[in-house]
Amino acid sequence: MNATSAPVDDLVVIGKIVSVHGVRGDVKVYSFTDPIDNLLDYRRWTLRRGDEVKQVELIKGRLQGKILVATLKGLDDREIARTYADFEICIPRSELPDLDDGEYYWYQLQGLKVINQVAQVLGQVDHLLETGANDVLVVKPCAGSLDDRERLLPYTDQCVLRIDLEAGEMQVDWDADF
């Protein structure tokens, strides 16, 4: 396990180490992928926590409830594994599989300007929340926003009408008073 200077702009967070598992140095991982065990398809991880960056290699992993348990190469001590808690698991964007038309990764939606059908700028997508029913866009005010309200919009076909990544815009069917 060694440090790296991987370009931060090229990395996508796909999970997070949350704690240690067992006595052999395995770690518990919360996955941001869908399905959650897709994270195990990536063998080389860049771990990032603040300014600290490490390269690790996944030896094996398994699904245990809603958490993954991972064995990392060279990590076989429980106390050392404990120090890996709170590291984000990152991979280069180039390793993500291509999506079908009309599908987007969350990182692609972040920063898009959100405009309703009467051309009001509601803000820009700050991040997304995963809920049981559907994902939710957290739209925060930005330069040129109608007001300084934060809005939560459902990420559904009824609400999101069009996404233009090149223009950096998302057209929505959403009344500014909601």
Contact 78, 22 (CB under 8 A): yes
Rounded CA separation 63/69 (Å): 6
Q: Regarding beta strands 121-129 and 67-72, do their DSSP bridges make them parallel or antiparallel, or are they unpaired?
A: unpaired
Checking if the pLDDT of 9 tops 80, the result is no
Which of 12-21, 45-54, 126-135 is the least confident region? 126-135
- Hey, what domains does the chain have and what are their CATH numbers? 8-95 (2.40.30.60), 106-172 (2.30.30.240)
Q: What is the pLDDT of residues 138-159, one digit of tens each?
A: 999 999 999 999 999 999 999 9
10 φ, ψ (degrees, to nearest 5): -90, -10
The structure tokens 């815009």 sit at 169
Checking if the pLDDT of 6 tops 70, the result is no
Q: What is the pLDDT of residues 55-109, one digit of tens each?
A: 999 999 999 988 999 999 999 999 999 999 999 999 999 999 988 988 998 889 9
Rounded CA separation 99/136 (Å): 20
The token duo for 17 is 């180490």
Rounded CA separation 112/131 (Å): 21
Q: What is the pLDDT of residue 7?
A: 61
Q: What is the pLDDT of residue 47?
A: 97
The token duo for 106 is 């969350």
Once rounded to an integer, what is the mean pLDDT over residues 164-172?
A: 97
Percentage with pLDDT > 70 across the chain:
95
DSSP track, the chain? -B-----GGGEEEEEEEEEEETTTTEEEEEE-SSSGGGGGG--EEEEEETTEEEEEEEEEEEEETTEEEEEETT---HHHHHTTTTPEEEEEGGGSPPPPTT---HHHHTTPEEEETTS-EEEEEEEEE--SSS-EEEEE--TT-SSS--EEEE-STTTEEEEETTTTEEEE---TT-
